[in-house]
Amino acid sequence: MGTETSRNDRNLKMKIAIIGAGIGGLAAAYDLRRAGHDVTIYEASAEVGGLASGFKEPNWSWSVEKFYHHWFQTDRHILGLIDELGWQDKVRFPRPVTVMYSRGKFYPFDSPLAALLYPGLGWGVNKARFGLVGLYLRLTNNWRPLEKSTVDEWMRKWSGNRVYETMWEPLMVGKFGERYAKVVNMAWMWARLHSRTTRLGTFEGGFQAFADAFAERLRQMGVQICLSTPVSSILPAPSGGLTLEIPTGPAAFNRCLVTSSPALLARLAPDLPPAYLQGLLNLKSMGAVVMVLALREQLSREGYYWYNIPKSGGFPFLSLVEHTNFLSPEYFGGDHIVYIGDYLEPEHEYFRLSREELLERFLPVLPRFNPDFKPDWVRQSWLFRTAYAQPVPLVNHSQNIPAIQTPLPGLFFASMSQVYPWDRGTNFAVEIGRRAARLILESSG
């Protein structure tokens, strides 16, 4: 009787590996450890946070994200988790100004009044159609019929060609490039417009401060976090469970959750059935190239935060974000922090050019934002790139989403390619990480 009881106890307590210490992986670890299981996180980078990680100069009190991030007031998953952790007093929601480009000038576009005054749409019927379509998309919860049409088809039909070509087509081309702009489905656009807010949130100290504090809480709970520890393969063990190959040798686990890109999962787990593997490889995504500048002077005289820039405007990037028009420069030692970013296919030359070569492309256009700008305003610059930044959802994309519980026993997958129709970000990383944790717990019986 005692032997049978101890065997059951061992079966109830699982050894679980999580690959990736991004926000989704940390959220899954939180729930799995609270359920009493042994959890180990493997992260190839030297820090936690994933795509939300940041960096910090010695004279800065806050970190700066490598890829600009913020929360919306409707982001209930991440804000709910922060409430559980008892850190709600550390969340801040300023209201920065976002602007749109039209005929060589930038105009505020972050309120109904600003949209009404924006000259790019003209007057009369175009603005009425823009407003009615926007209102419909914010009010409806029925997104599934929308995924049967592309943004291009649906918006041209209901907003009209003028509104689409002025407002939405530049966004689509900027986000997905000429290759994918016309094939992304309308449910993706619905998700962007349905619940976003003009107030944008961050965490006291920056997103890295949140990730570090979360990781420390997990360590206190008994979760083991192994940084600078890439996993090279995941194979089924002959006696059951999974074997992970790490730099120190093989490690055995009952369950494994991978929170990386679909392409990386396909490389790590070649024993997945061919159909599931091919489904992973069929998923499309855009990469991101982001340069961060520390300037001695404020770039935007008007205090604008986010510049939406059409590719047709002749700029060598998609967006310019002056972070210190969102947060005070005093957090960054008086530096004025500017992001210059673009979504690009991983084959684009920006993934090969050096930081110095990209600076040569970018700096000559900054006087278009401030005629007084001089290159010697740049005190320091940093370059960050990732090949996996924005999934590309095609028509009827819900049929192409990989199952979280893969066909390989014990192996689970949770990525931003599966949060559809919602857009990628830390809010839905928490949601899918916790959903994966529930499935792992259910799989234990």
pLDDT tens for 218-229 read 999 999 999 999
- CATH superfamily for 284-392 is Protoporphyrinogen oxidase, mitochondrial; domain 2 (3.90.660.20)
Domain boundaries, the chain: 2-82+205-283+401-443, 111-194, 284-392
Residue 35, token pair as written in the block = 């359920």
Q: Look at residues 139, 156, 172 and name the one whose alpha carbon lies nearest to residue 393.
A: 172
pLDDT, tens digit, for every residue of 349-376? 999 999 999 999 999 999 999 999 999 9
**371 Cβ contact partners less than 8 Å away, ≥ 6 residues apart:** none
Confidence of residue 445 (pLDDT cuts 50, 70, 90): low
- CATH superfamily for 2-82+205-283+401-443 is FAD/NAD(P)-binding domain (3.50.50.60)
Question: Does a cis peptide bond (omega within 30 degrees of 0) precede residue 230?
Answer: no
Say what the alpha-carbon torsion angle 227, 68, 193, 343 is, to the nearest 10 degrees.
-90
Residue with more model confidence, 120 or 260: 260
Alpha-carbon distance of 418 to 397, in angstroms, equals 10
Bridge partner list, 306: 98, 321
Fold equal for 2-82+205-283+401-443 and 284-392: no
Bridge partner list, 252: 243
Confidence of residue 4 (pLDDT cuts 50, 70, 90): very low
User: What's the pLDDT at 1?
Assistant: 36
The model's pTM is 0.92
Bridge partner list, 224: 40
User: What's the pLDDT at 9?
Assistant: 37
User: What's the pLDDT at 393?
Assistant: 95
User: What's the pLDDT at 125?
Assistant: 84
User: What's the pLDDT at 11?
Assistant: 52
Is 70 exceeded by the pLDDT of residue 6? Answer: no
pLDDT (mean) for 236-258: 95
Is 80 exceeded by the pLDDT of residue 295? Answer: yes
Q: Over pLDDT 90: what percentage of the chain? A: 76
User: What's the pLDDT at 162?
Assistant: 87
pLDDT, tens digit, for every residue of 35-91? 999 999 999 999 999 999 999 999 999 999 999 889 999 999 999 999 999 999 999
What mean pLDDT, rounded, does the chain reach? 92
Residue with more model confidence, 336 or 127: 336
Is 80 exceeded by the pLDDT of residue 281? Answer: yes
Is 90 exceeded by the pLDDT of residue 126? Answer: no
C-beta of residue 148 within 8 angstroms of C-beta of residue 169 = no
The lowest-confidence range among 122-126, 154-158, 176-180, 388-392 is 122-126
Alpha-carbon distance of 299 to 336, in angstroms, equals 8
